[in-house]
Structure 1
């Protein structure tokens, strides 16, 4: 699809977006935008061909200069947007050829807010097709629209998903920041594996309107950046109440500025729960984690070891929820689209994939789509939803925080990235991390780079209670200042052992 991408980018040169590019006065924001575009051209469209960016706007430097001149909060900073979030310039495909013509000419509310704050939408990022919900056997980072996203730290290894392009693009320096979406791990995993900061907010902090859905219970968008401060800055620009999204109307402590207090926050005396069983069995991961714990301790944190085994009914019931809500929410979204000739139900998507199996299903099928299309028992769904949310929230995270008198829980986010294999699908080491309860309950989850195993990045997860987003970001910023680990730079080459 790189040819189509180049043609679309070329068309944008002649559009009003790019018309004033040469006339724009020099500005730091414009120069930064130009540098980002140059990196995309040399590393995404050529060279290692990361395939992180589907399309970008060559006129972005002029837009950046204008936002900077107006004195808007983001001052022309460039942001790449996952291609399941609507922006008026381009189609929103979720990586599927079924939505290749999905040109709504509308911004998702979070994107409208981003522009109002002076952010420049630089382009769209590749993703795991349909946010990795189509099949149990998928390969993260692959979509029929964008091809395979490669990890800039090891181009033969996976970028995780489903916000694969967003994580890889930030790691590669293609933009100041990117927006990803998460249902369960889709921000935090690619952030950890690509060596960047990723923040999954409490569900309801950011609007989901005009975002290709999976689950009304678990879906959220969030920032992916180089630093915790930048994540907080971007969060403040995209968060907000939305009359079309009921989840956004019950936020008790919404803030205009999530950067406030980050630089001053101290971990002195802060009790942090260390999730020992969620470290996994890889000695190298444990060693990286122990260094992070030592850094937290030197910063004054009181570390409390916790031994915990999850109630696995949570995973079973959450899967029922995802399938039921996928069928319902996808139909609502598809039926809202203004175009003609587009699919309108999950059944239509299944039929499209069968009709285009050579391009859509060469590498894996659509068993989850097919199961979800039959998931119509509302009573069973409502029971499963109540169970999953209660177990993940009240009986897991709330109980762990209260029983051990801790403010945060920490664990490695994931293990090191795995070798990409389109034939066999994903393979990753299980038993690492505590991300699922936070995703299922809708609680905040921040991952911050904490080191590497053989040059492959590892993230530190910091999880807090519901609506404790600002507190979690402050803790992440404090850890970032205390961190002693040397973080690896992207090699843009296939993996090789560390020297």
Structure 2
């Protein structure tokens, strides 16, 4: 999920147009990247305790920021072993997780698994790119091992999943080493309308490694923060609406949210089967694409309505900046880019976006302004992200949340029924709500009791009220959001109204208050985000540009996302600003020691 009521309101101003000046590369080159010298970023203190921010060396090799292919090459040339690499990442987690709280639980078997992978390497050569590469998964993904799968909540502690989530089993089969579970906004931001983004009762408050006083984005916060701060080589997250895109954007990394159904959600704690998608985080498009290849097998195993599917691996579409020559991109203005220009606190971001777009044009691409979603006024909330805005206007039959709250009730019940062990006897959402109310001091089951959830568990209660009944209102809402976001939204904008297809729609992710990625979420369409800079003087955290495509065109997202990445050649590194911050920037977050 993207934003809550805790987000500061936008200033509603009506500027006449885009108004980006033509700029040169010199102007773009001056953008602050947040990079720091090693001697400037060694140690700091939090609460009087020294925190070692240095990346551990791996057999004298500095692996900070190395890509998956670079790590693979080091393993193949025996510069270090899988055991060495795994131990190095575990030490990094030990050093910085105490302040970032990105990892909710470390796999006690990680080093044993690493030794097994080393033995495999002794027995044969020519392993795949993911063999021996350490990764993390969001704490909604079942792992049949000694770790818990809890969605960050104490209510599911002690439960045992019947098997690994399908995506986890695919990565294990490829030889990747599971380091642990990543923190998240509890229950993937589903439980409350008013909450502290990045907080869970099991994991605490996850923080942004660039500015610890800023939120990391959610709900897949830990997965993104861990990659950004070099706690793992890549990670997995899930998205219903913005939960991959926004954390990737705010942490200066790449996120890929695939078309709903491209990756299999079996064994993942669900939110909405119509909107949920398992995706990947990487420090580069290449890494995120390699990880995506690792979690996609037979598409028909996940969905039966796939019309087209790439025959080549996604990594084969990774390109250089030369791929931008002749490319065609659109800029949806109405309800999207206009919000960025209106936002007083995003002036630096808007300036940098303009510079980035001019560089894309300079590389030979045609960037067309005002390629609007025809349905923009119907599907984009005027005040920013709000997935229940139509209900507030008296039209639940047009609301995305009507779909989510109904499906969550049923999908959770199915998930709980398949557990191999369930010590708290949690069989339904009703049981979860009762548990949270009974344990209100820990789980905030009532409004005003827990500072991380001022509204208690009101989203759960709204879901409970549906009883999971898929009535006429539900079916109308599902059809409505799909039609308005697909045929009358993204597909219409991509076709430009004249039949010529664009290669992607370029959108912001933070400065528009999350509405661009919400359109893609409603459609179930794929999206990628690429870092473009840090806005100094604003929130001092990274931000990126997103690309939206139609269903099953992840190949185009990877092709042009990597081309833009190569063009910008941006190198970001966490600055750990405000490392001693003991609270969130928003009202209601609990202080932490």
TM-score (norm 1): 0.86
Q: Is residue 474 of structure 2 the alignment partner of residue 378 of structure 1?
A: no
- Structure 2 CA distance for partners of 1:238 and 1:448, relative to 1, 3 Å: same
Alpha-carbon offset, residue 73 of structure 1: 3.4
What residue number does 1:102 align with?
Answer: 159
Task: Measure how far apart 1:229 and its partner are.
Answer: 0.6
Q: In the alignment, which residue of structure 2 is the partner of 1:483?
A: 568
Q: Which residue of 1 aligns with 2:196?
A: 139
Q: Note closer, same or farther for the CA distance 1:340–1:75 as it changes in structure 2 (3 Å cut).
A: closer
Q: How far 1:368 sits from its partner (Å)? A: 0.7
| Equivalent residue number for residue 201 of structure 1 | 258
Residue 306 (structure 1) shift: 1.5
Q: Is 1:289 aligned to residue 371 of structure 2?
A: no
Which of 533, 542, 546 is the matching residue for 1:461? 546
Give 1:38's aligned residue: 91
Superposition deviation, residue 68 in structure 1: 4.8
Which of 469, 491, 510 aligns to 1:414? It is 510
Instruction: Name the structure 2 match of 1:332.
Output: 414
CA positional deviation for 1:66: 4.3
Is 1:357 the counterpart of 2:446? The answer is no
Q: Does 1:312 align with 2:312?
A: no
* Alpha-carbon distance in structure 1 between the residues aligned to 2:252 and 2:231: 14
Asked which structure has the greater CA Rg, the reply is 2
Which residue number corresponds to residue 114 of structure 1? 171
Cα distance in 2 for partners of 1:373, 1:66 equals 50
Q: In the alignment, is the contact (CA less than 8 A) between 2:92 and 2:231 conserved in 1?
A: yes
2: distance between equivalents of 1:55 and 1:180?
15
SS of 2:372's equivalent in the other structure is coil
Residue 402 of structure 1 corresponds to which residue in structure 2?
495
Unaligned runs of 5+ in 1: 1-24, 416-429
Partner Cα separation in structure 1 for residue 406 and residue 260 of structure 2: 18
Is 1:343 paired with 2:426?
yes
The structure-2 alpha-carbon separation of the partners of 1:153 and 1:468, relative to structure 1 and needing over 3 Å to count, comes to same
The residue that corresponds to 2:106 in the other structure is 56
After superposition, the C-alpha distances for 1:33-61 in whole angstroms (9 at most, x for unaligned) are 2221111011113xxx2110112235154
Answer whether contact 2:330 2:371 (CA < 8 A) is retained: no
Return 116-125 or 29-38, whichever deviates more.
29-38
State the SS of the aligned residue for 1:354. Answer: helix
Please give the per-residue CA displacement for 1:361-409, whole angstroms capped at 9, x wherever unaligned: 0131111110111123522111110111111111100000012642200
Counterpart CA distance in 2 for 1:478 and 1:67 is 36
Runs of 4+ in 1 over 6 A off after TM superposition: none
Does residue 221 in structure 1 map to residue 281 in structure 2?
no
Q: Name the CA distance, whole Å, in 2 between partners of 1:203 and 1:432.
A: 19
Comparing 164-173 with 68-77, which one deviates more in the overlay?
68-77
Displacement of 1:64: 4.8
Any conservation in 2 of the 1:206–1:248 contact (CA below 8 Å)? no
1:432 and 1:343 map into 2 onto residues whose CA distance is 34
Distance in 1 (alpha carbons) for counterparts of 2:414 and 2:114: 36
Q: What root-mean-square deviation, in Å, do the aligned CA atoms of Structure 1 and Structure 2 show?
A: 2.1
Aligned with 1:450 (options 513, 532, 550): 532
What's the counterpart of residue 136 of structure 2?
80
Once the 2 structures are TM-superposed, how far is the Cα of residue 138 of structure 1 from its aligned partner?
1.4
Distance in 2, matches of 1:67 and 1:308, equals 53
Query: Among residues 201, 210, 230, which one is paired with 2:267 in the alignment?
Result: 210
Q: Give the match for residue 389 of structure 1.
A: 482
TM-score, length-normalised on structure 2? 0.73
Three-state SS of the structure 1 residue aligned to 2:211 is coil
Q: Which residue of 1 aligns with 2:75?
A: none
- Counterpart secondary structure, 2:566: helix
| Residue in structure 1 matching 2:557, options 443, 466, 472 | 472
Q: CA deviation at 1:313?
A: 4.7
Match of 1:261 in 2: 317
Task: Answer 1 or 2: higher relative contact order, Cα 8 Å, separation at least 6.
Answer: 2
Deviations 1:73-130 (A, max 9, x none): 3121111000000111211000111111122252111111111122111111000000
SS in 2 for 1:134: coil
Aligned residues of 1:201 and 1:445 also touching (Cα < 8 A): yes
Q: In the aligned structure 1, how far is the partner of 2:242 from the partner of 2:503?
A: 22
Cα gap change, 1:176/1:255 in structure 2, threshold over 3 Å: closer, same or farther?
Answer: farther
Counterpart CA distance in 2 for 1:203 and 1:305 is 28
Contact 2:242 2:514 in 1 (8 A): no
The gaps in structure 2 that reach 5 residues or longer are 1-77, 381-386, 391-398, 445-449, 581-593
Residue 315 of structure 2: SS of its match in structure 1?
A: coil
Would the alpha carbon gap of residues 381 and 132 (structure 1) be closer, same or farther in structure 2, given more than 3 Å must change? same
Instruction: Please state whether the residue corresponding to 2:268 is helix, strand or coil.
Output: coil
Q: What is aligned with 1:425?
A: none
Q: Which moved more, 1:374-383 or 1:210-219?
A: 374-383
Distance 1:249 1:338 in 2: 31
> Does the C-alpha gap of structure 1 residues 67 and 433 become closer, same or farther in structure 2, counting only changes over 3 Å?
farther
